[in-house]
């Protein structure tokens, strides 16, 4: 089967559209039309797939010709165009001569050459130009000069030297990424060594550096990049950037991702660190439909809080942030959510929650940010457009930061930053014209909302339960304890009286408000609302704030307790040393046992308080001790 394959040819495999992006030797490269790294197959394999009808071309029942759209005459240099015009003039003059004698035609050609002030071509040369012109269907591009193709193009190196060059290039094709100059110098040394063992009259020719570089240039760029930089570099370099299809309607596609913001936040004198932003963007309008900021690493509960924000009305900003001038009307139920393949997006809870909300999930391939390029671009916009202009910024790298001390200049708390972020998002980003959308995200949303209003979630769904954090605890005395917070209810007491297997209960909680949890009743299979015992403390308290407070409290308590215990052990050690000075056998035996216990406990505290500051422990074997042996400190 004779098949011609050309660059730019489009075809389908299992319904997905691809395009031939390059042809190098016997290899054909093709890319997914939506973008992504290049695929490589041999020409033989490609033709086999065509014969097996696994590749379908755009023309039904036929394989399209391999003709590409040739460049026009305007694409050539002016000198080449001028030469084409000159040759066409000679051809026209040759055809205008009625008399067929060679002398007449030669004279006419010379006359034209003299008029134009150019060298006179021979009649045979003009006939050769005419033949090519007619064979091309009178295409003037056939008259373009081929001077660049002149010269000896046969291989000049001997077979033995060629093998040495190929061996040197195989060393160049390594992960160490040796320079071509280094490889060339080593190769020259190798040839010198070989020549020292050969007859003087038959030495091997040493190719120059340009020759070796020409050989290297002929290598398949796919293989060169793969060998020297790895598979990821090949995917990055060869992927097409054609972009993904346009979203058909409002909220048809939402992209979610995380980023650690380039800013250090604080609380008073305590440095909290760099927060993580989880953000959701609607593709068709580029509008931000939800976000969540926390200091924890990316996790399911951060995704859940962001999704809650996507689904809920944003009218709260007027009361909470009165300085914001515009409205933020972007919310609703997405049809499809595009995510990366992080564990937080692959969790069972997220999958089930989206299934219940009738949201489809598309997990993009790893290391393929172009599949959700909209949100990836916004993550760069937020850092460059806002964060890098706020006190406490870390910039994007140490070179941009210079001598700026991010920790010393950190003045914003999380609440302060959220207020600034809301203001920037609603009054700046949402009102700024987006190049791809053609207008601002706010105006695009307002226009499309009238055509296809976003669908709301079902009214019977409690988002705090559906998207809440899952924990399991045992009931004890009518209470459950989560992160040192007690939750109590008469319902829990009744559950605790049931069978043993019912005492372990499933709990859902809103990580942004620890005042209330929802306990799944093991019998009725209904969630019961249970409040925290310390309601004033827990109401409206985010989880990350509570954990930070617990950590600080544990540090202070542990410090106080350590010094109290250490002081008591010092007093006990002094008392034991006093008792050991007495001669009463019963008292000494009691003291020795106490010393052994005290020494063991003190050892557990990294020997911060030694039992005594005298000599090393010694073994006492005294008949007065009834043959018992004790390791004590010898006074």
**Domain-ending residue, one of 75, 94, 115:** 75
Name the residue with higher pLDDT: 425 or 620.
425
Residue 292 pLDDT > 90: yes
Average of pLDDT values for 481-489? 90
**Confidence band for 67, pLDDT divided at 50, 70 and 90:** very low
In a domain, 68, yes or no: yes
* pTM > 0.75: yes or no: no
Residue 68 pLDDT > 50: no
Q: Are both 59 and 82 inside the same structural domain? A: no
**Domain-ending residue, one of 395, 424, 451:** 451
In a domain, 547, yes or no: no
pLDDT reported for residue 632? 38
Lowest mean pLDDT among 135-139, 241-245, 563-567: 241-245
Residue 546 pLDDT > 70: yes
In a domain, 244, yes or no: no
What residues pair up with 273 in beta bridges, in sequence order? Answer: 265
Look up residue 416 and give its two tokens: 């302060």
**Confidence band for 53, pLDDT divided at 50, 70 and 90:** confident
Summarize pLDDT for 173-232 with one digit per residue, the tens. 888 888 999 999 999 999 999 999 888 888 888 999 999 998 888 887 777 887 888 777
Calpha distance 18→37 (Å, rounded): 11
pLDDT reported for residue 564? 66
Contact criterion met (CB below 8 Å) for 124 and 102: no
pLDDT reported for residue 625? 40
Name the residue with higher pLDDT: 2 or 462.
462
Q: Are both 63 and 101 inside the same structural domain? A: no
Average pLDDT, the chain: 77
**Confidence band for 238, pLDDT divided at 50, 70 and 90:** low
User: Residue 229: how many CB atoms within 10 A of its CB?
Assistant: 14
DSSP letter for each residue of 93-141: HHHH--S--HHHHHHHHHHHHHHHTSPPPPHHHHHHHHHHHHHTTS-GG
Measured in degrees and rounded to the nearest 5, phi and psi for residue 324 equal -80, 130
Summarize pLDDT for 355-387 with one digit per residue, the tens. 888 888 888 766 666 667 778 888 888 877 788
Summarize pLDDT for 241-252 with one digit per residue, the tens. 555 566 788 898
- For the ranges 292-301, 546-555, 622-631, the maximum mean pLDDT occurs at 292-301
**Domain-ending residue, one of 451, 485, 506:** 451
In a domain, 290, yes or no: yes
Average of pLDDT values for 505-531? 88
DSSP letter for each residue of 539-589: TT--HHHHHHHHHHHHHHHHHHHHHHHHHHHHHHHHHHHHHHTS--HHHHH
Q: Are both 441 and 313 inside the same structural domain? A: yes
Q: How many domains does the chain divide into? A: 6
pLDDT reported for residue 619? 38
Summarize pLDDT for 587-599 with one digit per residue, the tens. 554 455 444 544 4
Q: Which CATH number goes with the domain that contains 193?
A: 1.10.10
Q: Are both 29 and 54 inside the same structural domain? A: yes
Calpha distance 172→167 (Å, rounded): 9
Q: Are both 295 and 364 inside the same structural domain? A: yes
Q: Are both 408 and 321 inside the same structural domain? A: yes
In a domain, 519, yes or no: yes
Residue 469 pLDDT > 90: no
Average of pLDDT values for 93-104? 75
Q: Are both 493 and 581 inside the same structural domain? A: no
pLDDT reported for residue 501? 46
pLDDT reported for residue 288? 93
Q: Are both 350 and 209 inside the same structural domain? A: no
Q: Are both 290 and 439 inside the same structural domain? A: yes
Name the residue with higher pLDDT: 15 or 581.
15
**Confidence band for 557, pLDDT divided at 50, 70 and 90:** low
Residue 409 structural domain: 254-451
Position of tokens 């299992």? 14
Q: Are both 493 and 574 inside the same structural domain? A: no
Q: Are both 62 and 84 inside the same structural domain? A: no
pLDDT reported for residue 631? 38
pLDDT reported for residue 597? 44
Average of pLDDT values for 65-79? 67
pLDDT reported for residue 617? 39
pLDDT reported for residue 2? 59
The DSSP bridge pattern shows strands 513-520 and 527-531 to be antiparallel
In a domain, 249, yes or no: no
In a domain, 460, yes or no: no
Q: Are both 283 and 366 inside the same structural domain? A: yes
Contacts of 441 (CB under 8 A, 6+ apart): 285, 286, 287, 288, 330, 429, 430, 432, 434
In a domain, 461, yes or no: no
């Amino acid at each position: 089967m004779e098949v011609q394959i050309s660059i730019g040819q489009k075809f389908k495999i299992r319904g997905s559209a691809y395009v031939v992006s390059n042809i190098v030797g016997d290899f054909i490269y093709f890319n997914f039309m939506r973008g992504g790294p290049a695929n490589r197959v041999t020409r033989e394999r490609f033709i086999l797939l065509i014969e097996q009808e696994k590749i379908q071309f755009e023309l039904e029942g036929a394989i399209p010709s391999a003709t590409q759209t040739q460049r026009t005459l305007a694409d050539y240099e002016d000198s080449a165009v001028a030469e084409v015009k000159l040759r066409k003039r000679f051809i026209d003059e040759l055809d205008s001569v009625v008399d067929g004698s060679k002398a007449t035609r030669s004279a006419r050609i010379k006359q034209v050459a003299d008029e134009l002030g150019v060298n006179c071509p021979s009649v045979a040369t003009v006939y050769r130009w005419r033949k090519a012109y007619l064979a091309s269907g009178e295409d003037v591009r056939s008259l373009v000069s081929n001077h660049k193709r002149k010269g000896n193009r046969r291989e000049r190196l001997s077979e033995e030297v060629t093998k040495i060059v190929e061996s040197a290039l195989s060393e160049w094709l390594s992960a160490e990424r040796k320079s071509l100059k280094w490889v060339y110098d080593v190769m020259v040394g190798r040839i010198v060594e070989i020549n020292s063992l050969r007859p003087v009259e038959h030495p091997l020719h040493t190719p120059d550096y340009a020759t070796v570089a020409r050989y290297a240039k002929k290598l398949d760029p796919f293989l060169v990049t793969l060998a020297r930089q790895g598979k990821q570099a090949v995917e990055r370099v060869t992927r097409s950037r054609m972009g993904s299809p346009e979203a058909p309607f409002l909220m048809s596609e939402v992209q979610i991702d995380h980023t650690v913001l380039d800013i250090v936040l604080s609380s008073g004198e305590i440095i909290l660190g760099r927060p993580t932003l989880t953000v959701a963007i609607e593709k068709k309008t580029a509008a931000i439909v939800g976000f969540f900021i926390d200091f924890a690493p990316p996790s399911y509960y951060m995704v859940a809080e962001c999704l809650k924000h996507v689904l809920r009305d944003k009218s709260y900003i007027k009361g909470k942030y009165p300085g914001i001038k515009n409205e933020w009307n972007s919310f609703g139920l997405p049809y499809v959510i595009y995510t990366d393949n992080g564990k937080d997006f692959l969790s069972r809870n997220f999958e089930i929650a989206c299934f219940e909300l009738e949201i489809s999930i598309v997990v993009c391939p790893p290391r393929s940010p172009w599949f959700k390029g909209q949100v990836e671009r916004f993550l760069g916009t937020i850092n460059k457009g806002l964060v890098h202009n706020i006190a406490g910024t870390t910039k994007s790298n140490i070179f941009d930061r210079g001598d700026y001390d991010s920790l010393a200049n950190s003045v914003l708390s999380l609440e302060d930053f959220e207020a600034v972020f809301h203001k920037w998002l609603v009054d700046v980003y949402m009102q700024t014209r987006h190049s791809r959308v053609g207008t601002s995200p706010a105006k695009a949303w307002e226009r499309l909302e009238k055509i296809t209003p976003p669908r709301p979630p079902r009214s019977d769904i409690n988002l705090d339960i559906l998207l809440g954090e899952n924990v399991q605890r045992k009931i004890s005395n009518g209470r459950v304890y989560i992160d040192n917070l007690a939750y109590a209810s008469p319902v829990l007491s009744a559950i605790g009286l049931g069978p043993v297997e019912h005492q372990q209960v499933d709990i859902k909680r809103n990580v942004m408000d620890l005042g209330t949890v929802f306990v799944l009743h093991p019998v009725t299979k209904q969630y019961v609302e249970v409040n925290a015992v310390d309601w004033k403390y827990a109401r409206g308290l985010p989880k990350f704030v509570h954990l930070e407070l617990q950590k600080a409290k544990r540090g202070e308590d542990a410090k106080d307790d350590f010094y109290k215990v250490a002081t008591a052990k010092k007093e006990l050690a002094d008392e034991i040393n006093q008792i050991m000075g007495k001669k009463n056998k019963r008292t000494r035996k009691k003291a020795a046992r106490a010393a052994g216990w005290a020494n063991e406990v003190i050892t557990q505290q990294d020997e911060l308080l030694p039992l005594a500051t005298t000599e090393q422990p010694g073994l006492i074997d005294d008949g007065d001790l009834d043959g018992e042996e004790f390791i004590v400190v010898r006074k």
